[in-house]
Structure 1
């Protein structure tokens, strides 16, 4: 981790303490108010729950501290993506999306923005630079792609797309600010689902938009207030709690993933293993140049759907669940979610279990599958 990131990690949990008055609680209070005392001209104060909330403010301060950019909080990662699309796009705009990224983003454009006159193309993440960016109003990247873990060159995409007048948006959900920093690499807007590792406990939906462009941030904030796409105070409070330990959990998860991915190579139950940290992975060299860590997601392919399900269900330290980034290791056969992957494709999300105990459980389940 860079010295700057170490400094941000060290000060993250102390942001609230900088402004505490004598007798105030050290933990963040949960404020669920829909209305606030607002006599006369109350500009600059909380007035109504759709406009602002002190608990959101605290979370946005933490996220901005990590991203080194203003952040606007949303009730989910998809709400953050929707805010960007509906705020910045208009009829006649043409956009570029990853063909192998999170499918709900493509569905939003196809099923809803298409009715409003927005058209789109898709392109595989690994060859995202091919074909150029002429004619696009907005270029959206997700790297590493979810779930296949392909990577594109963020800085090169940003430079080439900007040269053609496009806005560049990066989904950084899989990596968090401790694993990858797309804003530093030139993108205009970052979106992320803080439901994942930032919260880290599978008990809150949340997302955010970050940008260093003041006009974009103002427009996104206005969209949130006008549309009512606001996070709940309890969810914000839970994410605030999770962010205080994100650096610690993320380091443990990434360290463990690096060990387990290497050990998975060559297991007779597996037809393929993908992890950017593997030296022979197609994405490894690029990952080394633009990522702080290699992440905690590992993709594997077993011989069939049944083998994949038996592996997941037979592992005593693995939750059969969608999503990722929690303290517990989880896994999912991704064809269930409509991804264009083989029937036996499994995305493993490494959690915080001790590495040797987790590896033993994974190996025992794979050994049973292999017979």
Structure 2
């Protein structure tokens, strides 16, 4: 029956506690740093807060269920998950392929930290990721982000996995923009999924968190060891906030995707708009691949206005849009990405749709874009 559940049911079931009489339906966080150690010194039990935490385990179980993984490992942020994973799998003397049009801090970490330690870093646009992977050798690592942030290009994950696997290369997929309700990279052949839970999973702009999930026991054990030694842990209260939020993920993500589709349709014919990117638009270059591998097209729309001033005016004249970085939250936010160094025009903005009523958003954005 589980495979037939809808998104909201899956989200609620993922965070469900064991039905023990007398126990709380929604368990509280366990903010423990130290635990009582039994006389037999059994180290499989909770012993120290950097090593074990019951709230982590509950959250990791939920994340693994949603991603279709056997194991998930949580971290203090999405970048903590990415960097910890890359330290484990990107070995000196091997090649790491990263998206040239993906999240800029992944490229920065690869060049500034991994390259000086003997890892060859290759940048490839998302549209050419499969071509870059065709040169991979055993133990190389291919890191894809799809849809890419902020350009929203979609990588054909099945083709990419079929390119990596015969060559012995490890395929990591950043699933942050799609979420596990929009896309299942592991089922398409990825080895490991990594994501920022700060975004849609937590969804309220009030907590930082990240995770990696996969089915390879050796890699996941090494990643847990890396977290123990390096210490980029997720606090128990923060883990509880993410766990609490996942229960409403299905509802929130459905509305965000609905709003994104409506706003993209409106913006594509607006005279103030030069270009719109949204994988759900039939004319979008990523639409064919997105249709084949995504269950939902996501809550983010890319839009190009005349210049930076036009983006600032859009936010200033709006009653609903929030000028803010990050995405996936309950408020609709606008982020001019060139300010962060992304390789986009000055007037390119990432609009992350929130859960406001669709008609209210459409009216507000139209009014904000109207000529003065």
Distance 1:5 1:153 in 2: 25
Task: Say whether residues 1:245 and 2:248 are aligned partners.
Answer: yes
TM-score by length of 1: 0.96
Residue in structure 2 matching 1:144, options 142, 147, 150 = 147
How far the C-alpha of 1:278 sits from its partner, in A, is 0.5
Instruction: State the secondary structure of the residue aligned to 2:342.
Output: coil
CA contact (8 A) 1:71 1:211 kept: yes
CA contact (8 A) 1:5 1:178 kept: no
How far the C-alpha of 1:268 sits from its partner, in A, is 0.9
CA contact (8 A) 2:15 2:243 kept: no
Residue in structure 1 matching 2:301, options 269, 284, 298 = 298
1:103-142 map, 5 Å: 103-136=104-137, 137-142=140-145
How far the C-alpha of 1:130 sits from its partner, in A, is 2.6
| Structure 1 residues 293 and 317: CA distance shift in structure 2, 3 A | same
TM-score by length of 2: 0.95
Task: Say whether residues 1:345 and 2:348 are aligned partners.
Answer: yes
Partner of 2:78: 77
Instruction: State the secondary structure of the residue aligned to 1:109.
Output: helix
Instruction: State the secondary structure of the residue aligned to 1:178.
Output: coil
| Structure 1 residues 342 and 162: CA distance shift in structure 2, 3 A | same
How far the C-alpha of 1:17 sits from its partner, in A, is 5.0
Any gaps of 5 or more consecutive residues in structure 2?
Answer: none
Distance 1:286 1:16 in 2: 31
Distance 2:307 2:13 in 1: 49
Distance 2:14 2:101 in 1: 38
Any gaps of 5 or more consecutive residues in structure 1?
Answer: none
Instruction: State the secondary structure of the residue aligned to 1:270.
Output: coil
Partner of 2:233: 230
Partner of 1:29: 28
Partner of 1:288: 291
Task: Say whether residues 1:270 and 2:273 are aligned partners.
Answer: yes
What is the aligned length? 368
How far the C-alpha of 1:94 sits from its partner, in A, is 1.1
How far the C-alpha of 1:306 sits from its partner, in A, is 0.6
Task: Say whether residues 1:162 and 2:161 are aligned partners.
Answer: no
| Structure 1 residues 198 and 255: CA distance shift in structure 2, 3 A | same
Partner of 1:334: 337
Q: Which of 131-140 and 84-93 deviates more?
A: 131-140
Q: Which of 222-231 and 122-131 deviates more?
A: 122-131
Q: Which of 119-128 and 343-352 deviates more?
A: 119-128
CA contact (8 A) 1:8 1:65 kept: no
CA contact (8 A) 1:34 1:48 kept: yes
